[in-house]
Amino acid sequence: MAYLHRLAAACAGVGLVLGAWSALATEPEILAPGYKALNYPAPVPGTYQLPVLWSAADGQVLDDSGRLTRLHALMGDKAVVMSFIYTRCNDVNGCPLATFVLSQLQGPISADPLLKDQVRLLTLSFDPQRDTVQVISAYGQKFRDAEFDWTFLTGQSAADLAPVLVDYDQSTQLVSGGDGVISHVLRVYLIDTNKRVRNVYNTSFLHADSVISDLRTILADKSSNTPRPED
């Protein structure tokens, strides 16, 4: 739980959720399910369907070495778990949760022959003004296991990223007078090997055990590896 303590320290004094601005400022802190053991059995891989939601859009991004590249190139032929964050996010159940859960995926993926070398993690900042390549790179180094396939990304500009956010239905809003706070719905995306979104997770729903089950489900599903005619 050292990570959690680090998050808690980072969030000290700012409250748990954005609602802490309001009358709920005194509400006790309740951590998202993703920080704890799943309190129900994880879904059994292969016993359920994950219908295609939409095609994962392409877009121009900067990787953590400053190289200009595209999302589709980064996705390649891997199954992808992708989060949208900004590093100054101080809502422990927001962006830090996404990064925490993705960090928790690394061990199980590396240990699973079905998943090892088949899954790629992507974390894209939607705050390119503050999250420069240097910032996002330093952020990523705190959470990425050595040699694990997890790339931290940012954009050249907000305008550059805008169509990507639209395509992924990731709305963001700079809070007026909020000292750089960006209000947004937390979303993490499961993307199959044909660049199709197969699940969307939010705060109530995001847990490493569930994501692992979903990864096993889509990688064992041969139809996931067959492009649809329209693709």
Partner 1 sequence: MEGLNAKNLGAVGAFFIGLSLLAGAAVADETCMSPYMAKIVGQEDFVYIWTVGIEGVGDGSDKLVTVDVNPGSPGYGTVVHSVSVGGRHEAHHSGLTDDRRYLWASGLQSNQIFIFDVHTNPAQPSLHKTITDFVEQSGGVVGPHTNYAMPGRMLFTGLSNAEDKEGRTALVEYTNAGDFVATYWMPDAENLRGATQSGEFADGYGYDVRALPRRNVLVTSSFTGFNNYMRNLGELMADEQAMQRFGNTVVIWDLHTRQPRKILDVPGAPLEIRCAWGANSNYCFTTTALTSKIWLIYEDETGEWQAQAVADIADASKIPLPVDISIAADDGLLFVDTWNDGTTRVFDVSDPFSPKQIYERKIGDQVNMLSQSWDGERIYFTSSLLANWDKQAGEPGELQYFKAFSWDGQALQPGFAIDFLAEELGAPHQMRFGAYALYGKQRPTASISRED
Residues that bind partner 1 (CB under 8 A): 13-25, 27, 30, 32-33, 39-40, 43, 47-49, 51-54, 90-91, 93-94, 97, 169, 171, 173-179, 181, 183-187, 200-205, 210
Q: Which is nearer to partner 1, 151 or 210 (CB)?
A: 210
CB of 93 to partner 1, least distance (A): 4
CA atoms within 13 A on the CB side of 14: 17
Considering the complex, what minimum distance in angstroms separates the CB of residue 40 from partner 1? 4
Nearer to partner 1, 19 or 163 (CB): 19
Nearer to partner 1, 60 or 202 (CB): 202
Least spacing, CB of residue 105 vs partner 1, in Å: 17
Residues 6+ apart with CB under 8 A from 108: 115, 208, 212
- Helix ranges restricted to H, the chain: 2-11, 71-75, 95-111, 133-143, 158-167, 208-220
Helix, strand, coil content of the chain in percent (nearest 5): 35, 20, 45
Q: End-to-end alpha-carbon separation of the chain, Å?
A: 43
- Shortest reach from residue 4's CB to partner 1, in Å: 15
Residue closer to partner 1, measured from CB, 21 or 107: 21
Neighbours of 192 (CB within 10 A): 25
